[in-house]
Amino acid sequence: MKKYFQLDELGTNIRREFVAGLTTFLAMAYILFVNPNMLSETGMDADAVFAATAIAAAIGTLVMGLVAKYPVALAPGMGLNAFFTYTVVIGFGIPWETALAGVLASGLIFIILTLSGIREKVINAIPSSLKLAVGAGIGLFIAFIGLQNANIVQADPSTLLALGDITSPTVMLAIFGLVVSVILLAYGVKAGIFYGMIITAVAGMIFGLIQPPSGLSGVVSSVPSLAPTFGQAVLHFGEIFTLEMLVVILTFLFVDFFDTAGTLVAVASKAGIMKDNKLPRAGKALFSDASATVVGAVVGTSTTTAYVESTTGVSVGGRSGLTSVFTAGFFLLALFFSPLLGVVTSEVTAPALIIVGVLMVSALKDIPWDKFEIAVPAFFTVLMMPLTYSIATGIAIGFIFYPITMLVKGRGKEIHPIMYGLFVIFILYFIFLN
Ligand SMILES: Nc1nc2[nH]cnc2c(=O)[nH]1
């Protein structure tokens, strides 16, 4: 096992990979509750979606760990589950079974794109400064998710966003967790984020903000049935051949493509596994991601994708695919211990998400801000991710500016032809999206 995962070469060990796998799992565990909650608004069975979420995450993450050997975990994405629920099913009135068939189609197209090597070529054509910007933007995005989940920031009718009610006990618990985790990390404790989560959960139980598990039934439960959602995507595959579904499928494809590319680069840079600004084994990592979407659609969930939360595991030392194998194992275990996961509330995970933001924005220091032609696309890439609540939209806006500023500054020769292609595709994306 040590040899297969090259633990010695990567300067890691089984214990550290285990803590990393558990940390990533805990940072992502909220999806086990958020996803069924959201998708059930379409009429899907919440218990089946819970099981589908855990199974899709476990299989996708296991393949990523074993085949691509990346410390990257996967689960149904928060951007695309919202698009699936609120735009496709509730907005367009498309039945969830057909929408799920659309997810399946996008996953299959992805596999074809990956096998043809197109995805890998696109990722490698992105200039290093924009790759850094993507990583930093994802950092802001994930910190924003954390701040929002913990209600440290909240919606405001006049300014869109404002500070939340920081005197509310649950918000105070999240802030307590944040301060504890920051102090542990400042002292150099590698698993500071993980210990911070445990301390926050225990404090939450002591102060009555988190329900402690009671008795055996509060800890273990049977695996919910997948029957209501399993295979519906396949059964309804014949319904995707409409113009409306074509737009839906292309959106699934587009968002997943760039979200995954940005996330893989961000996590790989953080883990120090990028070589010459390129992703080693990129094809395998992309294939793992694409097949996870297919598995997810078949069992009953919207697009499964590489999670930015994987950086929490990397930040406690996770470097190899073994981290992912452990994370996958926890997702499988979660199927049996679903009541226990109630302890991992958003107040417990929020500090981790916010601190990961701190760690990820460090990429900003390597962007040449004194070069206006780079500063502009990098700035929009970073800023628009949290503001539009979409990694893919941030990338699209930033990448539209890149050839414009580079050409005007007389640096046209340095632009990779693929970046021109993306310029056109992103403009078309915005035209047809609206
Ligand atoms: N990269 C990524 N990470 C996430 N974490 C939660 N949701 C998402 C998502 O949609 N994309």
Ligand 1: centre distance to CA 307 (Å) = 5
The finding on whether 303 has its CB within 6 A of some atom of ligand 1 is no
Q: Is ligand 1 within 6 A of the CB of residue 381? A: no
pTM of the model: 0.86
When mean pLDDT is compared across 131-135, 178-182, 382-386, the lowest value belongs to 131-135
What pLDDT, on the 0 to 100 scale, is given for residue 337? Answer: 82
Q: Does 103 contact ligand 1 (Cβ within 6 A)? A: no
Q: Is residue 289 in contact with ligand 1, taking CB distance under 6 Å? A: no
pLDDT, residue 259, reads 86
3-state secondary structure the chain: CCCCCCCCCCCCCHHHHHHHHHHHHHHHCCHHHHHHHHHHHHCCCHHHHHHHHHHHHHHHHHHHHHHHCCCCCEEECHHHHHHHHHHHHHHCCCCHHHHHHHHHHHHHHHHHHHHCCHHHHHHHHCCHHHHHHHHHHHHHHHHHHHHHHCCCEEEECCCEEEECCCCCHHHHHHHHHHHHHHHHHHCCCCCHHHHHHHHHHHHHHHCCCCCCCCCHHHCCCCCCCCCCCCCHHHHCHHHHCCHHHHHHHHHHHHHHHHHHHHHHHHHHHHHCCCECCECCCHHHHHHHHHHHHHHHHHHCCCCEEECCCHHHHHHCCCCCHHHHHHHHHHHHHHCCCCCHHHHCCHHHHHHHHHHHHHHHHHHHHHCCCCCHHHHHHHHHHHHHHHHHCCHHHHHHHHHHHHHHHHHHCCCHHHCCHHHHHHHHHHHHHHHHHC
Note whether ipTM > 0.95 here.
yes
How confident is the model at residue 434, as a pLDDT?
Answer: 60
**What is the predicted pLDDT for the residue at 190?**
77
What was the pLDDT predicted at 218?
A: 79
Count the helix, strand and coil residues of the chain and give each as a percent rounded to the nearest 5: 70, 5, 25
Q: What is the pLDDT of residues 68-82, one digit of tens each?
A: 999 999 999 987 898
Q: Whose CA is nearest to atom 3 of ligand 1?
A: 307
What pLDDT band is residue 167 in, cutting at 50, 70 and 90?
A: very high
Name residue 209's beta-bridge partners. Answer: none
User: Quick check: 340 pLDDT over 80?
Assistant: no
